Amino acid sequence: MKINLMPVPYQVEWNEGLFRLDSTFTLVVKGNPHNRIYSAATRMLRKLSGRTGLFFTQDVIVPETSMDNPSIIIKITSPGKVDVNMDETYDLNINSQSITLNAATDIGALRGMETLLQLLSADGEGYYFPNVKIVDKPRFKWRGLMIDVARHWMPADVIKRNVDGIAAVKMNVLHLHISEDQGFRIESKIFPKLHELGSDGFYFTQEEIKDIIKYCDDRGIRVIPEFDIPGHSTSWFVAFPELSSAPGPYTIERRWGVMDPVFNPAKEETYEFFKAFFGEMTALFPDEYFHIGGDENNGRHWNANEEIQKFMKENNIPDNHALQTYFNNRILEILTSYNKKMVGWDEILHPGMPKNIVIQSWRGRKFLYESAANGYTGILSNGYYIDLCQKAEFHYLNDPIPPDTTLPESTLKNIWGGEVTSWAELVTPEIVDSRIWPRTAAIAERLWSPQNIRDVDDMYRRMEIISLQLEDVGLLHEKNQAMMLRRMMGSRNTKALKVLVDVVEPVKIYTRHRQGKTYTSYAPYTRIVDAAKPESHLARNFRIEAEKFVGNKNSTSEETISELMQMWKANHKKFLALMESSPVIREAEKLSENLAALSALGLDALKLIKDNKKADAGRFAEMRKLLEESKRPYGQAELAVLQGFEVLFNAAGK
């Protein structure tokens, strides 16, 4: 039987038979759980009702809920605590008469309920669960998603729907990047000028943060705040220029990049400020870990400040790295006084730091392994930068501990997992879901499932299924694209535009910033490049079907790729007509033209291959030239179908 679960559980044993759902389906909770289980069980019941259309008679699950012969029994030994060592193990047993979900804590039961929802199936007779025994546990204890709410503001509704997404794929950490050059995004009651002057009016109130933390706790998810210091800090200085290393006044930064403003580490007032501010914030965020950022300080303002240079000389501080070490140690003292453990990007690591800090490695596994070998706990983010629009396969095979590792056990035990990072330079609330999902589900599997679960093709198959299920929790990664296309056209006539958008992708890594547009926080993020998905699944399928046809003349594959190329060839004329009423799409004209030209040559190549003929030298040169020309991006987007055409052209040229 094909498994449609994501992440894949630790152990799965399929059995004959199935459990049929009908309107008599009921649920009870037994044991000694935390109260969060009752609202979670109610949500699961409502999701099942919504997906099946069945009118269940049971309404809200409460501690007093009791009945004879319930359809599902959830048995919990003890209340779970949402911390770094939470117990997430569970067993799920389904037979034709009943369902039992056993877990040591209610948090494990939450994970098991997500598995049960993914198991829902249907046939001609109705809805059912397959008979199965599952024993499940996570591979890593830290499986997170970082959302940058500072560069582009992400309000509470965006956060909550993405929290529901990470719960659905069994992740357990929400990391909020709260401060940045472009915005300070949280209410401070003791320093109100921070959010009043540094946010453009877009920030979380403390009540909203408490609500988000409660929302996460109900789903077994920790919340880690990040206040990025000493760099990435322009927005702080709009309110408090006296804490900076260069004279003000300051304004909120609108550009992207690594900026010069940085806190002054030579002033005692700096530490007095943080003592008070972190006192307020550590009381607001209950998790024992607290993130200080610490990355990308270029030191220019330190170098230009005579008082700082004098301070360094008097205190035998040889360089800026040592000066940041001094700053970090002072901040560490403050956080320790509030019983918090420091988390930071890998630049914060230096000799003498206590072993209970967490290093978040963004520069590579090398830094993760070095810190782990020296006794420091670490999590991996390098390779999980979801905003770079790389393919799910790349992220999926990026493992904190790869199969060929030779690291000793003493090092491995210090690698706690990883975090997806959703930086927001090129992301708005409208498109953030499409940049995070569904690829983050693949990373969630890497961090949960056994190391040997690495079948890329099967991952893509299951990810397509899970992507649609993620819509059910309120994520907008699938449906917002259609809305964006209608806005570009000013009408419902978007078919020709959709044909093109389905086979283009945003340029990868950070090249978008270097391709003719000056992006700022107020630039439009409403163009074709923004509507395009980070990875075109149609392009991937085209390449796979082309390989099947070339390999064995598969007739089904021939029909599939022929129909696609005929559609793409005919689409350019329709796209040109759309441009007359939608100038914003004009920048993609060359992409459409190249797609049509590639398709015309692709159909020729298809016929040559089918007839066992070889393209003459001139025709093959034309194919190779067009393929090379078509690699050029337009409007910061690029054609994603080139690999498939290359397969056909190479086969025709042999």
21-43 confidence digits (pLDDT tens): 999 999 999 999 999 999 999 99
Contacts of 607 (CB under 8 A, 6+ apart): none
The average pLDDT across 429-451 equals 98
The span from the CA of 494 to the CA of 483, in Å, is: 10
Task: Provide the mean pLDDT of the chain.
Answer: 97
Whether 350 has a pLDDT exceeding 90, the answer reads no
pLDDT at 77: 97
The span from the CA of 417 to the CA of 224, in Å, is: 15
Does residue 226 carry a catalytic annotation? no
**What are 168-225's pLDDT values in tens digits?**
999 999 999 999 999 999 999 999 999 999 999 999 999 999 999 999 999 999 999 9
Whether 289 has a pLDDT exceeding 80, the answer reads yes
Place of tokens 């498994």: 3
pLDDT-derived band at 517, boundaries 50, 70, 90: confident
Q: Which structure tokens are listed for 159?
A: 């956060």
pLDDT at 2: 83
pLDDT at 623: 97
pLDDT-derived band at 621, boundaries 50, 70, 90: very high
The average pLDDT across 434-456 equals 98
The average pLDDT across 583-608 equals 98
pLDDT at 553: 87
pLDDT-derived band at 107, boundaries 50, 70, 90: very high
Task: List, in sequence order, every residue forming a beta bridge with 72; answer none if it has no partner.
Answer: 27, 99
The average pLDDT across 275-291 equals 98
From the list 331, 227, 211, the residue with the least C-alpha distance to 270 is: 331
What is the pTM (predicted TM-score) of this model?
Answer: 0.97
Task: List, in sequence order, every residue forming a beta bridge with 263; answer none if it has no partner.
Answer: 244
Q: Which of 288, 296, 471, 622 is catalytic?
A: 296
DSSP 399: -
Whether 52 has a pLDDT exceeding 90, the answer reads yes
**What are 248-262's pLDDT values in tens digits?**
999 999 999 999 999
Place of tokens 């000493």: 230
pLDDT at 481: 98
Q: Are 451 and 403 in contact (CB under 8 A)?
A: yes
The span from the CA of 184 to the CA of 182, in Å, is: 7
pLDDT-derived band at 500, boundaries 50, 70, 90: very high
**What are 394-422's pLDDT values in tens digits?**
999 999 999 999 999 999 999 999 999 99
Contacts of 182 (CB under 8 A, 6+ apart): 150, 151, 152, 234, 235, 252, 253, 254, 521
pLDDT-derived band at 474, boundaries 50, 70, 90: very high
List domains and CATH numbers for the chain. 11-136 (3.30.379.10), 142-471 (3.20.20.80), 480-653 (no CATH)
The span from the CA of 487 to the CA of 489, in Å, is: 5
Whether 349 has a pLDDT exceeding 80, the answer reads yes
**What are 221-244's pLDDT values in tens digits?**
999 999 999 999 999 999 999 999
Q: Which structure tokens are listed for 62?
A: 């409460």
**What are 551-580's pLDDT values in tens digits?**
998 889 999 999 999 999 999 999 999 999
Q: Is 259 helix (H, G, I), strand (E, B) or coil?
A: coil
DSSP 494: -
The span from the CA of 143 to the CA of 363, in Å, is: 18
